[in-house]
Amino acid sequence: MNNLVDQFMDYLKVERGLAHNTVSAYGTDLVRLTGFLQKKQISPLDVSQDHIVEYLTSLRERLSHRSVARNISSTKQFFRFLVSEGYMKVSPARLLETPRLARHLPEFLSLEQVDLLLRQPDASTPAGKRDRAMLELLYATGLRVSELVGLRAVDLNLESGFVRTVGKGAKERLVPMGEKARVAVKEYLQEGRMRLLKDRTSPHLFLNFRGGSLTRQGFWKIIKKYAKAAGVKKTITPHSLRHSFASHLLEAGADLRSVQVMLGHSDISTTQIYTHVSRERLRALHESCHPRP
């Protein structure tokens, strides 16, 4: 079983080019499947449809609806891979249907809340310059937090005002950063980054106090600190600024396809959720302001 799983994981990484986090999620799901089959003393090549039903029933007793849906997808793709490689003739999971999940509207900030948040870092310190540059760049580009902390200094073109990033599926894209973000990043590079580096060298753009790359968890703590200082009551994550970036662009008249390209979505249906956000805000505005709501 472990050998088959390893082959499948290599297929996901090498042939399909999936991101590390996605491959890791598949691995977690298949550890559950492996444990179930070992407990039942069933070879993966002898799995029947009844075994799959029993396995998923056991998952529904202890996992959320969303987690079960992901496990169904992982199981289907694993056995489909075994069929394609000639290990099995028919997939025992071929008749499984992945349940449709309700899509939750993303949490975003108002323009006033974004402005308050971006004014919190103390730009007189190296760390403050870094934090302001990160917040400005995140809101200006809509990068994922993993993309933001993974940036290298060479990924910036401050002259033309673009940043190069590599997103999910190892797909590269160029995103405009805007003048305010460009100025904040330039100031950080000139006056903050070298003081954080001290006598060290690093290819990474955003650094911690030891001169190493700032982590996603580190940036999450930073943004929570500034949200509290700004008096923003709602729960803010690094993704909140990405959501705000997309929502504010669409509200200002940007076309959906352009926003899709900047966000790095492979499917425009993923971007369309932000049109629901805009409609919800319009409805709330109408109800609060119209004399006959």
- Looking at residue 233, its pLDDT comes to 83
Out of 3.30.230.10, 1.10.443.10, 2.40.37.10, 3.30.43.10, which CATH number does the structure's domain 111-289 have? 1.10.443.10
Q: What is the pLDDT of residue 99?
A: 65
Q: Which pLDDT belongs to residue 22?
A: 83
pLDDT of residue 101: 52
CA distances (Å), 267 to each of 103, 239, 263, 271, 273, in order? Answer: 15, 19, 11, 7, 11
Res 281: pLDDT:
60
C-alpha 276: how far from chain center: 19
Tokens for 28, please give them. Answer: 């977690």
> Does the domain made of 2-84 have the CATH classification 3.20.20.190?
no
User: Closest Cα to residue 241, out of 131, 149, 108?
Assistant: 108
Q: If residue 45 lies in a helix (H) or strand (E), which one and from where to where?
A: none
Q: Which residues are catalytic?
A: 144, 168, 239, 242, 265, 274
What DSSP state is assigned to residue 98?
P
DSSP strand pairing (172-176 vs 156-157): unpaired
Q: Pull the structure tokens for residue 149.
A: 């902390």
pLDDT at 15: 72
Digits of tens for pLDDT over the chain (293 positions)?
A: 788 888 999 888 877 777 788 888 889 999 999 899 888 898 888 889 899 889 888 888 888 877 888 888 889 989 999 998 899 898 998 887 766 655 566 678 889 999 999 999 999 999 999 999 999 999 999 999 889 999 999 999 999 999 999 887 778 899 999 899 999 999 999 999 999 998 888 999 999 988 888 888 889 889 999 999 999 888 788 788 888 999 899 888 888 899 899 998 888 877 877 776 666 666 665 677 666 65
Paired with 163 in beta bridges are: 156, 175
- The pTM assigned to this predicted structure is 0.65
H or E stretch at 231 = none
Contacts (Cβ under 8 Å, ≥6 apart) of 130: 188, 192, 193, 196, 206, 207, 214
Per-residue pLDDT, 270: 78
**Predicted local confidence at residue 240, as pLDDT:** 86
**Chain CA centroid to CA 163, Å:** 18
**What are the residue ranges spanned by the domains of the chain?**
2-84, 111-289
Q: How far apart, in Å, are the Cα atoms of 81 and each of 44, 69, 91, 170?
A: 12, 19, 9, 22
The token pair that represents 4 in the structure block:
């088959």
Two structure tokens written together for 277: 């956000």
Q: Among 26, 227, 262, 255, which Cα is nearest to 144's?
A: 262
